[in-house]
Amino acid sequence: MMNDAVSLRAQLLRWLVAPLVALNLIAAGVAYWLAWMPAQTAFDQSLADTAWALVPHMQDSGPSIELSLSQQAEQVLRVDHFDSIFFVVRDTKGRIIAGDLDFPPLQIPPKYNSYVAYSSHMRGEEVRAITLSTLINGEPILIGVAETRVKRQQLKLRIFWSLLVTELLLLLLVILVVRWVLAKGFQPLQDIQGELAARRLDDLSPLPLVATPQEIAPFIRAINELLQRAQASGRAKQEFLANVAHQLRTPLAGFKTQLEWLRDHHRADTDTAQSADLMLASTDRMVRQANQLLALARSDPGDFQRQRLGRIRLDQLVSTSVQQFVQQALKKHIDIGFNLQPTEIDGDSFLLRDLVDNLVDNAIRYTPEGGQVTVSCAALDGRGVLRVEDNGPGIPDAEKEHVFERFYRLDQTQAGSGLGLAIVRDIAIDHHAQVALSAGHAGRGTVVSVTFPPATAPSAQAVPG
């Protein structure tokens, strides 16, 4: 199935950048015009000054007006390091008094002693020309001055490239600023995404509304309402699960007692005794799964209350709990050993028994016949540490994160529900403890370590193991 999701960030970036680019281009055009027009006017004024410089050399010689200009003066007039300078002096009848005979047609200024600037062509080149209109002894005279456009083109290119580089830098800066602004604007959403991604699958606590932007607050409230409904639904399922598991324990215990009586009283009948043993094994699995369901329901971190914690001797609790697994270990010829040093932690005795039971049961279940299981606890740097080590097949590194998921089973050939380590994780979370998996001695087997925080509960509330 194709992903039809549209990036809001990309859309906003397009919606913001496109108008800003258009405005930037318009501003660049206006800036170019504002930069070039004064320069164009200055060049035209320079041509007009040249024309005015010719006026003092005009004189009335009787029948006509003549230009009295020496050859040296004309050379000075035409000197330019970049452009060619042309000029012409005409009367209003079109007669050329002096200058270049091929000068282009003159445009007439609107009034005397003023000039008009225009573009034209001369000798195959584009030129910029002005026409000055003045009176010499009461007779109208037109003076035209033109020059090629080399200086003007160089200046236009200089203005163009300067504005282009400036506009490109401004455009890049605008894009970076817009991206930074969008990143800052989306930061609250990224924070929410990060918080949700870091949560456990069963963490349905509401998202905080502190320091939340006003525009995002309704969105977070809607998410919180959904989380509350999911939490209520999950709590109802947990309560139902706990009730069912609790109700199953009593009849299963009675059923197990009857099967044991049947087996003991019909031991002489091989078929009956074998059938009773098979039913007892199935009943034991049902009892274990019912106990695990009950432990799972009461270890839910969302319903745990920290005030239930009291001072507990972990070594005594472990010593009491593991006694029920001695027979299970002996059936598989597993050497189960203990190294229990005095260790005090803050904990809930019922939940901690579930934690120890699931760790030891898992170790015995996955350790082959003739193997070893070692249970130890000690106080290290003020923290209580519980370790259960076996020399079984171990857990691959790629599976270590998944084994704590509910109903995840590493070995499908082993009987079980896949809840053992999930229960251990939930109980550890309830106690602010950390669970770690590592390889056993010489790289064989698995070591499950549970590290509890330093005990803070008053000793008067100590709970016996």
**pLDDT per position in the chain (465 positions), as tens?**
445 556 777 777 778 778 888 888 888 888 888 888 888 899 899 999 988 988 888 877 666 777 777 777 777 778 777 888 899 998 877 788 888 889 999 998 989 999 999 999 999 899 999 999 998 888 888 999 999 998 888 998 998 898 888 888 888 888 888 888 878 877 777 777 777 777 766 677 777 777 677 777 787 888 888 888 877 776 666 666 656 655 565 676 677 677 777 777 777 777 777 777 777 767 766 766 666 665 655 555 555 555 567 888 999 999 888 888 888 888 888 888 888 999 999 988 888 888 898 889 888 888 888 889 999 999 988 899 999 999 888 888 777 777 777 766 666 555 555 677 888 888 888 888 999 988 877 778 889 999 999 888 666 444 444
In the prediction, which pLDDT does 275 show? 79
Is the CB of residue 303 less than 8 Å from the CB of residue 239?
no
Say how far apart CA 269 and CA 239 lie, in whole Å: 44
Provide the 10 A C-beta neighbour count for residue 272: 14
User: CA 111 from chain center: how many Å?
Assistant: 71
Say how far apart CA 338 and CA 319 lie, in whole Å: 8
In the prediction, which pLDDT does 4 show? 56
Say how far apart CA 13 and CA 27 lie, in whole Å: 20
In the prediction, which pLDDT does 246 show? 53
Closest among 365, 9, 29 to 187, alpha carbons compared: 9
Task: List Cβ neighbours of 356 (8 Å cut-off, separation of 6 or more).
Answer: 317, 318, 321, 322, 375, 386
In the prediction, which pLDDT does 197 show? 79
Task: List Cβ neighbours of 377 (8 Å cut-off, separation of 6 or more).
Answer: 314, 315, 318, 339, 340, 341, 343, 384, 385, 386, 387
| Residue count (the chain) | 465
Element spanning 129, H or E: strand 125-136
Provide the 10 A C-beta neighbour count for residue 323: 9
Say how far apart CA 338 and CA 32 lie, in whole Å: 88
Say how far apart CA 138 and CA 126 lie, in whole Å: 34
Say how far apart CA 437 and CA 394 lie, in whole Å: 10
pTM over 0.85: no
In the prediction, which pLDDT does 228 show? 80
Say how far apart CA 130 and CA 151 lie, in whole Å: 16
In the prediction, which pLDDT does 387 show? 93
